[in-house]
Structure 1
């Protein structure tokens, strides 16, 4: 699977977050809607440890590099800052060298991993049922690096040392999560959710450079690949997608409802991506109130129109149809529960139609 044999043929899955606070209820929605590619439910309404920013910082918090997930800041002004960094890098090296206990510390905290633990317990008890692949997710380095600061509110992403620790943390978390899900005997798709990539090329983020962004992303992707996983990136905004096409990423998940034009203008690079075995994951189900105005059939018509236009621009239709997935345009964690359920209903219906 990780070597380009994965041909999803419009397999449907979720982005990750849901607005429920009960893991069992969230999982019931997921299994009902995307039974062939279920994902564990991110539950951001449970609090900071389950949030987009705080959920993947366990190792940084345990080693004292970051003090608190409620208001995460790198403790660069602490008198023992060098000692804290030493503890972190020692733990990192132990995990890289194969110490499972060290690697486990890059997993979730007990609260932050509630949705993940519910998913794993469910798989242990009921098996994988209709699933052909399992999906996990984590937040990406650009978005986290922009939001996690030092005590002077400077974004950690722009500090080489802080960014290095953040990237290493995410790489080992991605490896740990992929390893945990792989024990259930199915291929594992691990998605890196990083909307901050939209800033590349924008005048407001001129310090974001192409090669460093690709190198840092590849570090995290390599953690997934080491465990035999399939690595992808989700960005719920328009961006220069060639940044991802030119990385080791195998699945690109984009908002095809609002930002289709950003992909249309890159038909030739997209075709090269597909030719090397890449997967295009269509975020075609809107995660806004407009979802109430759509039906699975109307979304199918929109999808087919977009495919037709890409084919006109030179994309190989056979590759595109074999190597496509379906998702909502973004996570549903901030939505009212009724709207989130509508999004998953539309996704399930669309998956059946396509």
Structure 2
């Protein structure tokens, strides 16, 4: 792995903006080493994290007025399923391209960084993970498509195609040393509960299926309590957790975390809150949270040096629920916490940020 984390700041992806160019400008102002292309669900429902990757899904209906995505399984979907599997087997990534109507921030970011003439250590992209996508998108009987074996297989193949297409799309800008593709998995908080009938093996296999064939760094984000060993076992390079609200949950699996870090894994700390609490936080307080987290994990046997060496910094989750001003503050804090942990001066960010 050529990329060294070194407290690099990046983001989960979503912003409250409606203008893609403004969202890209904000991102590049603060996330100067690892910008994440902005998802803009307020601009268009098609940029909602479940609609955004639904193009090509057999039977898909994107109901913008009702703000829902579902599969019309009452009609014959055999030909559409065959088409997904054909594209997968042939490696037809262009077939799975994400259009600008569904991801204006992705296309705007690629154009912008391609025109700049500079290279970033990392460009980050994101795709909704298979567990969250499969539990949220329902069929005509209001049953999650994850519970339909055929639809679940096709969904994983489709998400894999989109992740591979996104890697190539970002690489083709010629603006980064490396690409990182995240799987966003908020529904992992429900795995193991009575509400969700999904086995551990299905979770691991589905995530592995989504990252198969990627030549870049891979990661996953979950913004709550979960069994973190699922993500370690899935063979990901980066695990992102909500360090602001759920530090204790990570400390439940110290041996598995140690093996993950010793194997070269990166832990991305979601230190900056994605709530109005961002108004009350300052760099020093967030640095203290990081240090407290390191002490907690070290007390459970995780190597303190590795925790620092293999760390990245992010907001705790997406920022679409904030105002534009608060979203900017969250990005500024992430950048300044990154600088502080490196022992650097925040410089112009303190002067120009909100």
TM-score by length of 1: 0.91
Provide the rounded CA distance (Å) in 2 between the counterparts of 1:110 and 1:24. Answer: 13
**Distance in 2 separating the partners of 1:128 and 1:267:** 39
Equivalent residues of 1:172, 1:223 under 8 A apart? no
Number of matched pairs: 336
- RMSD across aligned positions (CA): 1.5
Q: Could you tell me whether the CA contact under 8 Å between 1:54 and 1:69 is conserved in 2?
A: no
| 1:187 is the counterpart of 2:184 | no
Question: How many angstroms apart in 2 are the aligned matches of 1:267 and 1:94?
Answer: 41
**Cα 1:96–1:180 shift into 2, 3 Å:** farther
1:96 paired residue number:
89
Distance 1:25 1:186, change over 3 A: same
Counterpart-to-counterpart distance in 2, 1:336 and 1:239: 28
> Could you say which structure has the higher helix fraction?
1
Aligned counterparts, 1:314-325, within 5 A: 314-325=301-312
Question: In structure 2, what is the Cα distance between the partners aligned to 1:201 and 1:87?
Answer: 32
- The alpha-carbon deviation at position 72 of structure 1 amounts to 2.2
Offset at 1:8? 0.5
Instruction: Give the gaps of 5 or more residues in structure 1.
Output: none
Q: Which residue of 2 aligns with 1:109?
A: 99
TM-score when scaled to structure 2?
Answer: 0.91
CA shift, 1:141, in A, is: 1.3
- Partner SS, residue 12 of structure 1: coil
The correspondence of residues 80-229 of structure 1 with structure 2, limited to 5 A, is 81=76, 84-99=77-92, 103-129=93-119, 131-183=120-172, 184=174, 185-205=176-196, 207-224=197-214, 228-229=215-216
Which string of whole-angstrom CA distances, capped at 9 and with x for unpartnered residues, describes residues 135-186 of structure 1? 0001111111111111121111111112112111111100100111122252
Match of 2:21 in 1: 24
Structure-1 separation of matches of 2:258 and 2:269: 15
Residue equivalent to 1:296: 283
Pair 69,251 (structure 1): closer, same or farther in 2 beyond 3 Å: farther
Moved beyond 6 Å, runs of 4+: none
- Pick from 260, 265, 287 the counterpart of residue 278 of structure 1: 265
